[in-house]
Amino acid sequence: MFDKTAFAGHESVHHVFDAKTGLRAIIAIHSTVRGPAAGGCRMWNYATADDAFVDALRLSEGMSYKNAMADLPLGGGKSVIWGNSKTDKTPDLFRALGRAIESLNGAYWSAEDVGVSVQDMAFAAEETKYVSGLSTGRAASGDPSPVTAKGVFLGLKAAALRAFGTDDLNGRHIAVQGVGHVGGFLCGHLANAGAKLTITDVNAEALEAVARATGARIVAPNAIYDVEADIFSPNALGAILNPDTLSRLRVKVVAGGANNQLATPDMGDRLHEQGVLYAPDYVINGGGIINVAAEISGAYDPAWVEAKVQRLVLTLGDVLDRAKSEGRATNRVADEMARKRISG
């Protein structure tokens, strides 16, 4: 573990196995300097255990940065379940996850992420109080995806303003990768703003539903990188900005809700060199964790959430403006700002 590039000084990593339910999970806690670690639970059918491990590490570090840039009293953590979210889910599997989370005594708070639903986390909540993103309870507000999508939409407009001189999206062509919870809501915002959409996803049913609702054109998953558009919005899984895809992009802006979009930090340098404005993922997609933080506080306040999301958009603008003035990649500037906030 300590030799992996993704280790990044994690405080602790917990491997969880439950023989009765078949649960294989990893809970990674990157930092609790600002408060208890918080980050969602992802269920994915990883090719290898090492892939699951590295994903947990990268996602956990990203949550430390995300929570810091959203100015939340939370550290960074993440949990991943190794399994097929369509065939391997059971209520008892998530109850076993809940017991594992409870054993950490509040060092880590979870919520839903890719492959995990509000109902799944409700089963986990039967065994632990350290779960948010629920639809019932004193401070419950349900799926945080709509808040994430709204933040991404506002952040995308902030990036457009700097790239095109206006944040008016009417007639702008936007290529959207992933139309699940966040991507689907985002497409609704973009269509309402008059944007022309080209979309893709591995879920054909979700694609058709979004296309019907927004008039979007559908392309094959691998073809999205070749779409000539104004903005590319990745809202699926990470590491999609890599040596194989960067040379194919035909856009001026990359702004989306997916976590860990850069395969490696130097991909941000490459985007900068190509003249593509990149909105750092953990800054633009912080709306969901702001919503979760409101639940963790025990007294959900929609006005507080809205104010925090608006402040986050201003923070993104600061990152983009500073990167331009210093002639550096936006992710390098954001990383520096996040580390400073974490270190105090």
Specify whether the CB–CB gap between 320 and 284 falls below 8 A.
no
DSSP 14: E
Specify whether the CB–CB gap between 288 and 147 falls below 8 A.
yes
Phi, psi of 173 (to 5 degrees): -95, 120
How far is residue 24's CA from residue 26's CA, in Å, rounded to a whole number? 7
Q: State the burial class of residue 225 (Cβ atoms within 10 Å of its Cβ: 0-12, 13-18, 19+).
A: buried
- Centre a 10 Å sphere on the Cβ of residue 41 and count the other Cβ atoms it contains: 25
DSSP 272: H
- Centre a 10 Å sphere on the Cβ of residue 288 and count the other Cβ atoms it contains: 29
> Sign (positive/negative) of CA torsion 248, 250, 253, 256?
negative
Cα 9 to chain centroid, rounded: 21
78 among known catalytic residues? yes
Catalytic residue from among 4, 20, 66, 78: 78
DSSP secondary structure, 46-98, as one string: -SSHHHHHHHHHHHHHHHHHHHHHTT-S-EEEEEEEES-TTTS--HHHHHHHH
β-bridge partners, 76: 31, 38
Cα end-to-end distance, the chain, whole Å: 27
Beta-strand (E) ranges in the chain? 12-18, 23-31, 37-38, 41-44, 75-82, 108-109, 173-177, 196-200, 217-218, 231-234, 253-254, 277-278
Residues classed as catalytic:
78
